[in-house]
Amino acid sequence: MDNGNFKIISDSCCDLPKKCCEENDIGTVPFYVAFEDGVYKRDTIDFTYHEFYQKMLDNPGNFPKTSLPDIGEYINAFTPYVKEGRDILCICMTTTMSGSYNSAKAAADEILEEYPDARIEVIDSRALTIFQGMLVMEAVRLRDMGMGLDETVAAINSVKALGGAFFTIGDLTYLNKGGRIGGLVKLAAIGLGIKPVILFKDGSISLAAITRSRKKSLSELARQAALYFTKTGTDISDYELLVGYGLNEKDGEELKTMFIEELSKAGYERNPELVQIGTMVGAHNGPYLMGIAFLKRYSEGK
């Protein structure tokens, strides 16, 4: 297969806008979400992010449930490109929080029984939401530079541990209800009303800071994200940066301004893009989720 001609596919947790996917030849396989009516709808297809978050607001205490794509859906997504003779790179939500990767891998194995010459590589991103989307777009960048499938897989696997995301949420209610509080279980003793700043890295979450107001949580989120580069001594110019918001774009703009100010204090001049965080993470964290993601661009020899 010629370099730069493989198809990139991700599950919908990557939170990349439809237009971005169309312009960059990215396929997506949807997750599903249901409210108390029990009717599962396809993420990004049957509703918009705004409609999803608005429904959360209109139905407090009605915690949405999510469901992953099954093997058949991945088979349907892969097969047309296999028949065209194109290689496939599939980048899935972290296996620590979803079985999407397992569905994609099983689908690839099944297809290979019928098409033994097919090339389908499935990557556990160890990421989610806008951080996962950054990995997908990095794969696009490398593909469009003419890098082949094997090289791109190796490159993405090498940089995924060099990225991450800082998040804050409205409160711990959604995380606690969904059983996803994990490494933050000690916070239950402090109370669900706190506003934690959480670091997500290499598939797991850890506590970065504790605050007790929304304003302070955004300020501390911006500070922690900027401080990361100072503490680790990494060159921020090698990194892509994103600011993400859930329901309220105005909050996202406020966080972006805070982050730019914190970066400036540390001597960095950057203007990160603002993007919306989607339903798969929003369902388990609530509508007021905010985040700052970072990913080191792959560079041969670095």
CB count within 10 Å of CB 76 equals 12
Q: Concatenate the DSSP letters of all residues of 187-227 into one string.
A: GGGT-TT-EEEEEEETTEEEEEEEESSHHHHHHHHHHHHHH
The tokens for 187 are 């916070």
Phi, psi torsion values for 27, nearest 5 degrees: -95, 150
Which CATH superfamily, name and number, covers 7-31+68-161? Dihydroxyacetone kinase; domain 1 (3.40.50.10440)
pTM, to two decimals: 0.94
CATH architecture of 163-296: 2-Layer Sandwich (3.30)
- Give counts: helices (H), strands (E), the chain: 10, 13
Which H or E run contains 32? strand 32-34
CA dist 43 and 15 (Å) reads: 10
Distance CA 294, CA 6 (A): 25
What whole-number distance in Å separates Cα of residue 185 and Cα of residue 183? 6
Domain boundaries, the chain: 7-31+68-161, 163-296
Please report, in tens digits, the pLDDT of each residue of the chain (302 residues total): 456 789 999 999 999 999 999 999 999 999 999 988 889 999 999 999 999 999 999 988 788 999 999 999 999 999 999 999 999 999 999 999 999 999 999 999 999 999 999 999 999 999 999 999 999 999 999 999 999 999 999 999 999 999 999 999 887 777 766 555 555 545 544 555 678 899 999 998 888 988 888 899 999 999 999 999 988 888 999 999 999 999 999 999 999 999 999 999 999 999 999 999 999 999 988 899 999 999 999 987 55
